[in-house]
Amino acid sequence: MGESAASLDATPDAIGRASFATVDVLRRALGHSLGAFGLDPDECPYRIVGVGPHWRLRDYGGHDRSLSLLIVAAPIKRAYIWDLAPSVSAVRYCMQAGLHVHLLEWMPASHWSQNNGLDEYTEAISECVAQI
């Protein structure tokens, strides 16, 4: 009886994960469809200047003597949200203001990083700040 109750408790969680995965596949397909019509993000050129197990550090350039800015994207959002198109780009706005812009991009969760917590994210931010 105990095993049966445990499996019944796990069932709603499994259904929720499956539903999320299905919706995520549909969302990505819609994004690819829009991209085929030229409606995908129009990002600024950047270089990858640092990499960790679950993150990348983008460098959008700027003058070597200008103040540096590190944009830390939300782990649940894609980094391009900060640079969707020239007219609505926080990255471009900051570059035009004379800042040397860096952006910390979180990679999609993998089997090894799906349980990352504040310690792992804080460590990544610290590594990026030290590199800048």
Q: Phi and psi of 130, rounded to 5°? A: -65, -35
Q: Residue 91: is its pLDDT beyond 80?
A: yes
> With left for phi above 0 and alpha for psi between -120 and 50, is residue 98 left, alpha or beta?
left
Residue 6 CB coordination number (10 Å): 10
> What was the pLDDT predicted at 126?
95
pLDDT at 10: 65
Burial 70-92 (b: 16+ CB within 10 A, else e): ebbbebeeebbebbeeeeebebb
d(CA 94, CA 99): 6
Model confidence at 103: pLDDT above 80: yes
Confidence tier at 85 by pLDDT (50, 70, 90):
confident
What is the pLDDT at residue 93? 94
Residue 61: predicted pLDDT:
85
Give Cα separations from 86 to 90, 123, 128 (angstroms): 9, 32, 26
DSSP state of 89: B
- What mean pLDDT, rounded, does the chain reach? 81
The pLDDT > 90 percentage for the chain reads: 36
- pLDDT, one tens digit per residue, over 60-69 is 987 677 899 9
pTM equals 0.69
